[in-house]
């Protein structure tokens, strides 16, 4: 199993641009999550999903959108990127909603 | 919502000493408390976890204790080694996971 994979690894955006961060898991996990980690800080939950077709807001959802059309994929969409969205983004998945497995992260810089 | 506080923010110990990191949480309904280790530039890795119906759990040199009444839990690392140097995060979860701000542990050889 590849586990949780994320693309791209790095990206630089200009203010106002849009992009989609991709997350795929091959463990047939129902639960998937998106976190952001600012420098020197813990992880903050952006959005999560308990199954295909179901998504819910986390702690910091503003400026982001998600969709979950399949069990495997959970893309995160940034519309109108802002410097405050400069961060490392981690996707995670879980079979039970407790123990979470993290992807390698996407480092995003908005200039 | 849940609020998790973690102390200390930095911790430096001599190789072979013990290290203790403490977290408090606010939501008494939280029922799952994991600890993650994150090395520089890497993803968080689960090292140990505990559920609310257990008071203590041990895995080799690592142990976690939970006091539900006081709403705090702690990570204990014994016989520390240089490779234990990393940032450690606690978290508390009921439906969604809330993380502490992290503790940077440095183990000096």
Instruction: With CB atoms and an 8 Å threshold, state whether B102 touches A42.
Output: yes
Q: What is the pLDDT of residues B13-45, one digit of tens each?
A: 999 999 999 999 999 999 999 999 999 999 999
Is there a contact between A98 and B34 if contact means CB atoms under 8 Å apart? Answer: yes
pLDDT by residue (tens digit) across B43-85? 999 999 999 888 999 999 999 999 999 999 999 999 999 999 9
Task: Note the pLDDT tens digit of each residue in A101-111.
Answer: 999 999 999 99
Distance from CA of A68 to the nearest CA of B (A): 17
Query: In terms of CA atoms, which chain B residue is nearest residue A39?
Result: B101
Q: Give A-chain residues touching B98 at CB under 8 angstroms.
A: 45, 59
DSSP string, B14-82: ETTS-EEEEEEES-TT--EEEEEEE-TTS--EEEEEEETT-SEEEETTEEEEEETTTTEEEEEE-S--G
Q: Measured between beta carbons, which residues in chain A are less than 8 angstroms from residue B7?
A: none
């Amino acid at each position: 199993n590849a586990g949780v994979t994320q693309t791209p690894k790095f990206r630089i955006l200009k203010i106002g641009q849009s992009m989609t961060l991709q997350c795929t898991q091959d463990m047939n996990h129902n639960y998937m999550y998106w976190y952001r980690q600012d420098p020197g800080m813990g992880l903050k939950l952006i959005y999560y999903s308990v199954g295909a077709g179901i998504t819910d807001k986390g702690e910091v959802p503003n400026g982001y959108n998600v969709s979950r059309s399949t069990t495997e994929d959970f893309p995160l969409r940034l519309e109108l990127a802002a410097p405050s969205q400069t961060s490392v983004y981690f996707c995670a998945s879980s079979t039970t909603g407790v123990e979470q497995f993290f992807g390698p992260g996407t480092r995003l810089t908005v200039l | 919502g849940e609020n998790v506080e973690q102390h200390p923010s930095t911790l430096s110990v001599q190789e072979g000493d013990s290290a203790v990191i403490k977290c408090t949480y606010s939501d008494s309904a939280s029922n799952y408390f994991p600890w993650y280790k994150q090395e520089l530039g890497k993803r968080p890795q689960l090292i140990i976890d505990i559920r609310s119906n257990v008071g203590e759990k041990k895995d080799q040199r690592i142990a976690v204790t939970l006091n539900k009444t006081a709403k705090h839990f702690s990570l204990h690392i014994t016989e520390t080694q240089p490779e234990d140097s990393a940032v450690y995060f606690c978290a508390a979860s009921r439906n969604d996971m809330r993380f502490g701000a992290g503790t940077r542990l440095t183990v000096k050889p």
